[in-house]
Structure 1
Amino acid sequence: MQRRKVTLKLYPNAAQSARLEAWTRLHCELYNAALEERIDAWHKARKSISYYDQQNVLPQIKADRPELNELGSHALQQTLRRLDLAFQLFFRRVKAGQTPGFPRFKAAKRFAGFAYPDSAGWRLMQHGGSGATLRIGTGEAAMSIRARGRHRFGVEAKPNDITLTRRNGQWFVSVTLRVPESACARRRTGDQRRGVDFGINDWATFDDGRTIDNPRWLREELPRLAALQRQRARKKGSLRFKRLGRRIARLHERIGNLRRDFVHKETTRMVRQCAILATEQLAPKTMSRSARGTVDAPGRRVRQKAGLNREILSAGFGMVHPMLAYKAEEAGTRLHLSNTRQIKPSQRCSACWELVPKTLSQRMHVCPCGHTAPRDRNSALVVLIDAFNTQHTPGTGVAARPKPLPRQRGKSKSVTRETPTTAPLGA
């Protein structure tokens, strides 16, 4: 059985919306009270309180606060688990020497929602097409809320748990499904072998020269976004300030939805058409690092780098590889991720395999061997060659060439990622 997640939009009426808000405030209150208890116990008695200590007190808390009964015991326990997870991550960062980030108290308006960790306390009924009804609560406290959304897994998928979230005044429910292996499989319509290089000028460039345009969702909306932000800056402390803040949030959400929809469609098209898909490992967090520098060593061209960082993040590279990974596994496509630091696709010649240093502004690859090609297409060819040279030795990279160049002998093998299940070349 596999687990997949699908998100449905909820359409509560005014009374149901007010009740969901009240339930969210109660969950937020429980979260903050549990956090305060942990802090006080440590300051006063140097005692650590575990999740189980707080869970065992829930019956007494519900006896003192009857309004918590309609929320359900399992949902309340999940809120306590959420706090416990925050502490686990805090201690993990402390041990790793990172910036710890101690768990903080939550404001009710910033508390996103609550969850049911199992099938108790809720029921999701699909009505064919995109219509659905979510029933949460038990007895007289139960609510039946209209929902809209569907998934591709059919009747074999069984709901396991749900999470209700509030975004910009709208409610959504994320449902985790338990899906059989057969229902997860994707139908592949082609057996192409393609290398792809992701970039800014063109969102994707393939080894055969085909490109996918970069829609630049954020750049298109920047004038409108700047106008709304200027209006909000002149209305601080007023009701219009809050209204404009909601409009800005909705605009950002729209940009994110367009980006996610585009990446989903393009990655699905890639894995359907390809038996082998090769690209390089990307690190968007490193690529979009600020050039500001420090007081002692200030950076150069900070504003230009900030604009480049905005375009990198707007292109959605951070979600491309995770989507390709699970979709390639479902379609039986071999996904090859070349080690960027070792292979250096943008600097290596796909004809002679020599390194040809280039600046970021040089968009043509010109090699002394005579090979000339657009820079992005040459990079796509390099990762495709690396995928073919390592097809029988997964987990290796440039050092697995049949006849490595003399200056490359003795190099450690590239750590190349592969999808868990791969298809044979003739698949």
Structure 2
Amino acid sequence: MLDRALTFKLYPNAREVERLTDWIRLHCELYNAALEERIDAYRKHGKSISYYDQQNVLPEIKAARHEFVELGSHALQQTLRKLDLSFQAFFRRVKAGQTLGFPRFKASKRFSGFCYPDPAGWKLMQHGGRGATLRVGSGKDAMSIRARGQHRFGDGAKPNDLTITRRNGEWFASVTLRVPEDACPRARTGAAYRGVDFGLNNWAMFDDGEAIANPRFMRNEMSRIADLQRQQARKKRGSIRYRRLGARVAKVHERIGNLRREFLHKETTRMVKACAVLATEELRIQNMSRSAKGTQQKPGRLVKQKAGLNREILSAGSSMAHNMLAYKAVEAGTRLHVANTRQLKPSQRYAACWEIVPKTLAQRTHVCAHAGTQRTATRTQRRSC
């Protein structure tokens, strides 16, 4: 069995929106109360409270606060587990000497949503096509919310967990499906052996010279975002107009993300369908997009230029493309080879003779004297080989 994620858009009516908002508020209240309990216990008594300590108190909370009963025990446990994961990440960063980021209290308006970690307490029913109904809760108080979405895995796919989120005033349900392996394969139409290099001038460059242009969704909307942000800066912070302009900026970013995701899905699907073997290099996007501002003692250089480059790197979505290729290649029966960049040094190595010549970023070509001949390759071709 394989795990596959699917997102449905929800269309709740006014009464259902009010109930979902109340549920998010209660989950946020539980999260903040559990965080406060951990902080107070350590400050006053030097004692650390574990997830299991807080989970065992849930029956007493539901007995005293009856509104928590309809949320479901497993969903409440998952909210406490979410806080526990935040503390685990905090202590891991402490040991690694990284930026700490202590868990913070959350406002209910910024609390993203809640999760059912197993099939209990909800049910997803598809009606053919893209129509669906999500039933949440139990008994006569259960809600049946209209949804839109579809998956390609047939009746053998079994829902495993559900996450309900609220983004920009809209509601979404992310469902993880447990899918049989025989329901996942993709039809592969080609048997090519190709190398591909992900970049910025061209989103992808293949070893035969074929290029896929970078759509630059973020750059195309920068002027619109800047105009909205200038308008927002002139409004009183916290006013209705300030919030409306903030929502419009968020809508533009959401649209950019949707366009990017659609583009990546189409191109990665085309790659794995056409190739029996697909080779690329490992990319460490987190390192590549690191800020150049430095420290107060050692300030960085060309900080604004590096910030613009980082924006373009993240907008290209190369890391997301690698993740998509990883699971789509398995489904299509395509062999995906990801070369170790640090070991292979593709920017310094010429594929024809395997010679390594150190270069600066300004050097875009490699001239190789091999067997008495001169060979020249562009930087992009070298990285693709």
Normalising by structure 2, report the TM-score.
Answer: 0.95
AA at the equivalent of 1:57: V
Equivalence for 2:310: 309
Distance (Å, rounded) in 1 between the aligned partners of 2:282 and 2:295: 29
Q: Quote the residue 2:67 is aligned against.
A: 67
**Count of residues in correspondence between the two structures:** 381
| Equivalence for 1:323 | 324
Deviation digits for residues 175-229 of structure 1 (CA, Å, limit 9, x no counterpart): 0101001112222111100011111100000000000000000110011011001
Aligned equivalent of 2:37: 37
Q: Cα deviation per residue 1:225-258 (whole Å; 9 max; x = unaligned)?
A: 1100100000023211100000000101111111
Comparing both structures, which one devotes a greater share of its residues to strand? 2
Between 1:62-71 and 1:172-181, the stretch displaced more is 62-71
Aligned-partner Cα distance in 1 for 2:348–2:68? 61
Distance 1:209 1:141 in 2: 61
CA distance in structure 1 between the partners assigned to 2:230 and 2:369 by the alignment:
53
Secondary structure class of the residue paired with 1:21: helix
- 2:55 aligns with 55
Deviation at 1:48, TM superposition (A): 2.1
Q: Which residue of 1 aligns with 2:344?
A: 343
1:329-368 paired onto structure 2 within 5 Å: 329-368=330-369
What residue identity is the alignment partner of 2:257?
Answer: G
SS in 2 for 1:5: strand
Partner letter of residue 329 of structure 1? Answer: V
Who is 1:207 aligned against? 207
Correspondence 1:77-92 to 2 at 5 A: 77-92=77-92
Cα gap change, 1:56 to 1:332, in 2 (>3 Å): same
CA distance in 1, matches of 2:311, 2:49: 43
- Counterparts of 1:119 and 1:33 in 2: how far apart (Å)? 27
**Which residue number in structure 2 is paired with residue 225 of structure 1?**
225
Over the matched positions of the two proteins, sequence identity in percent amounts to 71
Q: Is the Cα–Cα contact under 8 Å of residues 188 and 331 in structure 1 kept in the other structure?
A: yes
Residue 132 of structure 2 corresponds to residue 128 of structure 1: no
**In the alignment, is the contact (CA less than 8 A) between 1:356 and 1:367 conserved in 2?**
no
Other-structure match for 2:276: 275
State the match for 1:261 in structure 2.
262
- Which secondary structure does the structure 2 equivalent of 1:229 belong to? helix
CA, structure 1 residues 79+294, in 2 after alignment: closer, same or farther (shift >3 Å)?
closer
Whole-Å separation in 2 of the counterparts to 1:207 and 1:194: 6
State the shift of 1:269 in Å. 1.0
Counting only pairs closer than 5 Å after superposition, residues 376-395 of structure 1 correspond to structure 2 as 376-381=380-385
Query: Matched residue of 2:173: which SS?
Result: strand
Within a 5 Å distance, the mapping from 1:232-247 to structure 2 comes to 232-237=232-237, 238-247=239-248
Q: Distance in 1 between matches of 2:282 and 2:191?
A: 23
Q: Which secondary structure state, in structure 1, belongs to the residue aligned with residue 356 of structure 2? A: coil
Distance 1:300 1:45 in 2: 47
Structure 1 letter corresponding to 2:79: T
Aligned-partner Cα distance in 1 for 2:180–2:87: 34
1:144 aligns with 2:144: yes
Counterpart mapping for 1:150-161 below 5 A: 150-161=150-161
Worse overlay, 58-67 or 96-105? 96-105
SS in 2 for 1:290: coil
SS at match of 1:101: coil
1:183 has 2:187 as partner = no
Superposed CA deviations along residues 119-141 of structure 1, whole A, max 9, x for unmatched, are: 11111000111110000011222
Determine the C-alpha separation between the residues in 1 that align with 2:92 and 2:292. Answer: 29
Please tell me the residue identity of whatever aligns with 2:356: L
Deviation at 1:362, TM superposition (A): 4.0
Mapped to 2, the partners of 1:256 and 1:165 lie a distance apart of 16
Moved more, 329-338 or 19-28: 329-338
3-state DSSP of counterpart to 2:155: helix
The one-letter amino acid of 1:31's match is: Y
Q: 2:379 aligns with which of 375, 379, 384?
A: 375
Paired residue secondary structure (1:110)? coil
1:93 pairs with 2:89? no
- For 2:197 and 2:143, locate their aligned partners in 1 and report how far apart those are by CA, in whole Å: 49
**Structure 1 position 95, deviation (Å):** 2.5
Offset, 1:367: 2.9
The 3-state SS of whatever aligns with 1:346 is coil
Cα distance in 2 between the residues matched to 1:135 and 1:252: 30
How far the C-alpha of 1:371 sits from its partner, in A, is: 1.6
**Alpha-carbon distance, 1:302 to partner:** 2.3
| Alpha-carbon distance between aligned partners in 1 of 2:305 and 2:139, rounded to the nearest angstrom | 60
Q: Distance in 2 between matches of 1:301 and 1:99?
A: 23
Which secondary structure does the structure 2 equivalent of 1:105 belong to?
coil
1:411 corresponds in structure 2 to none
Q: Could you tell me which runs of 5 or more consecutive residues in structure 1 were left unpaired when the two chains were aligned.
A: 382-427
Secondary structure of the equivalent of 1:189?
Answer: coil
Determine whether 1:20 maps to 2:20: yes
CA distance in 1 between counterparts of 2:307 and 2:95 reads: 32
Secondary structure of the corresponding residue to residue 338 of structure 2: strand
